Homo-oligomer: A and B are copies of this chain.
Amino acid sequence: MKKRAFFYIVLLLAFGIGILAMLRWGARLYPGGAIPGTELPASESTGALSILFLQLIVIIAVARWVGALFRRMGQPAVVGEMVAGILLGPSFLGMLLPSAQSFVFPPGSLGALKLLSEIGVILFMFIVGIDLDLGHFRRKADAAVLVSHASIVVPLFLGVGLCLFLYPRLAPSGVPFLGFALFTGTAMSITAFPVLARILAERSLTRTRLGSTALACAAVDDATAWCLLAVVVAIVRASGFAGSLLTVASTAAFAGVMLLLVKPWLARRVDTGAWSGTGSKTLLAVVLTFLLTSSLITEIIGIHALFGAFLAGVVMPAREEFRRFLRERLESFSSVFLLPLFFASTGLRTEVGLLGDAKEWLLCATIVAAAIVGKLGGSSVAARAAGIPWRESLALGTLMNARGLIELIALNVGYEMGVLSPRVFTMMVLMALITTCMTGPLLAVLKVGGRQEESRFSETHAMPGDERAPSRPSWEN
Contact = CB atoms under 8 A, between A and B. Distances in A.
Given A118-B49, A296-B50, A37 B236 contact: yes
Contacts of A358: none
A178 B26 contact: yes
Nearest to A415: B43
B1 A156 contact: no
Interface string A391-402: 000000000000
A100 interface: no
A68 to B, nearest CB: 8
A33 interface: yes
In the assembly, how many copies of this chain are there?
2
A104 interface: no
B418 A43 contact: yes
A283 interface: yes
Given A164-B25, A475-B278, A40 B237 contact: yes
Interface stretch (A85-93, A197-205, A256-264, A286-294): A286-294
A108 interface: no
B156 A15 contact: yes
Interface in A21-54: 22-23, 25-27, 29-30, 32-41, 43, 45-46, 49-50, 52-54
Interface string A141-152: 011011001100
B332 A299 contact: no
Contacts of A38: 239-240
A382 B64 CA distance: 51
Interface in A269-293: 273, 275-286, 288-289, 292-293
Contacts of A467: none
A200 B71 CA distance: 48
B288 A164 contact: no
A238 interface: yes
Interface stretch (A363-371, A426-434, A453-461): A453-461
Interface stretch (A6-14, A214-222, A347-355, A437-445): A6-14
A435 interface: no
A237 B41 CA distance: 9
B330 A27 contact: no
Given A45-B416, A179-B36, A236-B37, A474 B153 contact: no
B53 A154 contact: no
A328 interface: yes
Contacts of A457: 279
Query: What bracket does the count of chain A residues touching chain B fall in?
Result: 35 or more
Contacts of A68: 282
A23 B182 contact: yes
Contacts of A235: 36-37
Interface stretch (A130-138, A167-175, A403-411): A167-175
A111 to B, nearest CB: 8
A11 B150 contact: yes
A416 to B, nearest CB: 5
A37 B385 CA distance: 39
Given A177-B26, A181-B23, A456 B12 contact: no
Contact of A149 (B12, B35, B54, B281): B12
6 contacts: A16-B153, A27-B178, A37-B235, A53-B295, A277-B456, A279-B458
Interchain residue pairs A-B with the least CB separation, the first 3: A33-B176, A33-B177, A39-B174
Interface of A: 1, 4, 7-8, 11-12, 15-16, 18-19, 22-23, 25-27, 29-30, 32-41, 43, 45-46, 49-50, 52-54, 56-57, 60-61, 63-64, 68, 111-112, 114-116, 118-119, 142-143, 145-146, 149-150, 153-154, 156-157, 160-161, 163-164, 167-168, 174-179, 181-182, 185, 235-241, 243-244, 273, 275-286, 288-289, 292-293, 295-296, 299-300, 305, 321-322, 325, 328-330, 332-333, 335-337, 382, 385-387, 416-419, 456-461, 472-477
